[in-house]
């Protein structure tokens, strides 16, 4: 293709009209509307984006799909380049694109991905925040990286829920190993990719190339092995690859979303191989760790963000770290688009939808118990339990009071959710909180701050 007979803007309209049907309205408005297609040259389409975050976000979340759609429409393998607009609000640049300053023409996927190992270079140990939830997994990963093939942690299997850092951690091992000794061959793959490769090798009658690709690794990282479930032939193939590497003292690291004993549909001999090294888990991070992660992310991107904003995000976006990161990026995008500093008002505005999700689904008594437990750092079990320690009683009373105030639940119902207590206990709790709020302004402020965190 020398020249595509289509204007960048027209091509972009065709692409986005397809994307529109695939993403939520909110995602579309946030991520696609502000983008402008400015050029088609040298087999690539140049997209102008408002900030580096946009580029990263778009590239990592929608990069593949954009390429696919471009191919569908043009029939050509166009690449995408991103141009970051600096110093000019995007609105202005729409009017007069010629005065737009451009910086860092970024080639999609080139900056962060190492094409050989398929590692994302941003996933390092340095920016993996340690907390009680991931301490062991991190320590084990570091040992493996520092003494490749010499520890008994082979395979190292890391399991944990979605978005809790498994991929980050195993890729950090890969990056560290390469950093220590660049000749080491690291190969990162997902079990899905492994399956696809295997199927395509069979189709092309090319299984020796397939084996070679995986078996010449010194370190093989296989992410999300739960997807091997029920794929017997692939499992068989994986078993051979595994054995081959293992016998030659090569290191294997695996991740899965649950403990291997709960992986149904995996052959026993594969399961026992998986369990023959070290198994470590990653749990959901505590509030403190979540805040630390957000601070670290911001810092790594050269941005400062007020503590209370990280706290706002961390207390409200609890699902997983990826979601939390999404909220942060959205906030950055919003601030860079509106050219305003990041402050509480802006944060609330920008994150309205993300933070509002829990509100629209109307809070329940259990939500309140969950939030209070998170904020005061006393377990839910203790809050609804029988313990009489002062701070536990206080947390319990606060949660009861807020259940009454926010949810408007009946005294009986509240009692029921707090370990089957009598309604008079709930009355007593509410009364004492109210009284204390009246007597002590500090306490009132404290309760209100908890309330606002629970409610956002």
Binding site for Mg ion (CB under 5 A): 166-167
Count Cβ atoms within 10 A of the Cβ of residue 427 and give its class: 0-12 exposed, 13-18 middle, 19 or more buried: middle
The residue (of 57 and 242) whose beta carbon lies closer to ligand ADP is: 57
- From candidates 69, 81, 166, 396, binder to ligand ADP by CB under 6 A: 166
CB contact at 8 A, 152 and 309: no
163 binds ligand ADP (CB under 6 A): yes
Partner from Mg ion, ligand ADP, none binding residue 322, C-beta < 5-8 Å depending on class: ligand ADP
330 binds ligand ADP (CB under 6 A): no
The residue (of 190 and 364) whose beta carbon lies closer to Mg ion is: 190
The residue (of 63 and 160) whose beta carbon lies closer to ligand ADP is: 160
Q: Which stretch binds ligand ADP (CB under 6 A): 48-56, 68-76, 317-325, 443-451?
A: 317-325
The residue (of 296 and 428) whose beta carbon lies closer to ligand ADP is: 296
Cα–Cα dist 135/128, whole Å: 10
Per-position DSSP letters for 257-318, written without gaps between them: SS-GGG-TTS-HHHHHHHTTSEEEEE-PPPHHHHHHHHHHHHHHTT----HHHHHHHHHH--
Q: Which residue is nearest to Mg ion (CB)?
A: 167
Number of neighbours of residue 366 by Cβ within 10 angstroms = 13
301 binds ligand ADP (CB under 6 A): no
254 binds ligand ADP (CB under 6 A): no
Query: Which tokens sit at 161?
Result: 């829920």
281 binds ligand ADP (CB under 6 A): no
- From candidates 15, 106, 291, 293, binder to ligand ADP by CB under 6 A: 293
The residue (of 155 and 165) whose beta carbon lies closer to ligand ADP is: 165
Partner from Mg ion, ligand ADP, none binding residue 128, C-beta < 5-8 Å depending on class: ligand ADP
Tell me the torsion sign for CA atoms 259, 261, 265, 268.
Answer: positive
The residue (of 167 and 397) whose beta carbon lies closer to Mg ion is: 167
Q: Find the length of the chain.
A: 456
CB contact at 8 A, 297 and 17: no
Cα–Cα dist 42/69, whole Å: 18
Q: Which residue is nearest to ligand ADP (CB)?
A: 165
Q: What is the CA radius of gyration of the chain?
A: 26
Site string for ligand ADP, 107-136 (x = CB under 6 A): --------------------xxx----x--
- From candidates 322, 382, 436, 444, binder to ligand ADP by CB under 6 A: 322
Cα–Cα dist 60/219, whole Å: 24
The residue (of 221 and 350) whose beta carbon lies closer to ligand ADP is: 221
Cα–Cα dist 281/155, whole Å: 14
162 binds ligand ADP (CB under 6 A): yes
- From candidates 325, 367, 405, 455, binder to ligand ADP by CB under 6 A: 325
Of residues 455, 293, 314, 306, the one with CA closest to residue 374: 314
Of residues 332, 361, 336, the one with CA closest to residue 347: 332
Partner from ligand ADP, Mg ion, none binding residue 417, C-beta < 5-8 Å depending on class: none
- From candidates 321, 329, 378, 383, binder to ligand ADP by CB under 6 A: 321
Partner from Mg ion, ligand ADP, none binding residue 321, C-beta < 5-8 Å depending on class: ligand ADP
Of residues 368, 366, 362, 357, the one with CA closest to residue 398: 368
Size of the site for ligand ADP (CB under 6 A): 17
Helix (H), strand (E) at residue 324: helix 321-338
- Which contacts of 232-238 are long-range, i.e. CB under 8 A and separated by 24 or more positions? 232/267, 233/198, 234/191, 234/194, 234/195, 234/198, 234/199, 235/266, 235/267, 235/270, 236/267, 237/198, 238/191, 238/194, 238/270
Partner from Mg ion, ligand ADP, none binding residue 407, C-beta < 5-8 Å depending on class: none
280 binds ligand ADP (CB under 6 A): no
- From candidates 137, 145, 164, 270, binder to ligand ADP by CB under 6 A: 164
Number of neighbours of residue 400 by Cβ within 10 angstroms = 30
Q: Which residues bind to ligand ADP, rule: CB under 6 A?
A: 127-129, 134, 160, 162-168, 293, 296, 321-322, 325
């Amino acid at each position: 293709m020398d020249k595509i007979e289509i204007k960048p803007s027209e091509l972009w309209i065709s692409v986005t009209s397809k994307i529109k049907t695939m993403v939520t309205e909110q995602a579309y408005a946030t991520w696609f509307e502000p983008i402008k297609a400015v050029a088609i040259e040298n087999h690539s389409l140049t997209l102008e984006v408002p900030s580096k975050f946009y580029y990263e976000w778009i590239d990592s979340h929608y990069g593949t799909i954009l390429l696919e759609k471009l191919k569908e429409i043009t029939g050509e393998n166009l690449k995408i380049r991103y141009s970051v607009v600096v110093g000019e609000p995007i609105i202005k640049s729409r009017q007069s694109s010629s005065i737009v300053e451009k910086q860092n023409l970024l080639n999609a996927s080139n900056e962060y991905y190492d094409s050989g190992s398929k590692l994302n270079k941003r996933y390092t140990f340095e920016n993996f925040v340690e907390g009680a939830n991931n301490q062991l997994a991190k320590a084990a990963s570091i040992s493996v990286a520092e003494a490749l093939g010499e520890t008994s942690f082979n395979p190292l299997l890391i399991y944990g829920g979605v978005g809790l850092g498994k991929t980050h951690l195993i890729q950090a091992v890969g990056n560290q190993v390469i950093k220590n000794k660049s000749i080491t061959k690291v190969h990162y793959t997902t079990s899905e990719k492994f399956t696809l490769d295997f199927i395509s090798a069979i189709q092309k009658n090319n299984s020796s190339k397939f084996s070679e690709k995986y078996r010449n690794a010194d370190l093989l990282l296989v992410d999300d092995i739960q997807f091997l479930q029920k794929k017997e032939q692939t499992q068989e193939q994986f078993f051979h690859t595994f054995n081959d590497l293992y016998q030659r003292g090569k290191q294997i690291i695996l991740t899965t979303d649950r403990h291997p004993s709960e992986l149904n549909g995996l052959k026993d001999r594969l399961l026992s191989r998986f369990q023959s090294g070290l198994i470590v888990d990653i749990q959901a991070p505590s509030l403190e760790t979540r805040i630390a992660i957000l601070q670290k992310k911001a810092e790594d991107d050269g941005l400062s963000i007020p503590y209370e904003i990280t706290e706002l995000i961390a207390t409200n976006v609890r699902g997983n770290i990826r979601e939390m990161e999404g909220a942060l990026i959205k906030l950055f995008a919003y601030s860079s688009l509106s050219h305003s500093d990041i402050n509480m008002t802006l944060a609330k505005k920008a994150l309205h939808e993300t933070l509002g999700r829990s509100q629209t689904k109307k809070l329940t008594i259990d939500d309140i118990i969950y939030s209070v437990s998170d904020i005061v750092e006393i377990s839910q079990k203790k809050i609804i339990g029988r313990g009489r320690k002062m701070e536990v009683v206080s947390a319990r009373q606060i949660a009861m009071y807020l259940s009454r105030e926010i949810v408007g639940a009946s005294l009986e119902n509240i009692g029921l959710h707090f370990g089957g207590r009598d309604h008079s206990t709930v009355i007593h709790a509410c009364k004492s909180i109210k009284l204390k709020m009246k007597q002590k302004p500090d306490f009132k402020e404290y309760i209100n701050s908890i309330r606002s965190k629970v409610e956002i």
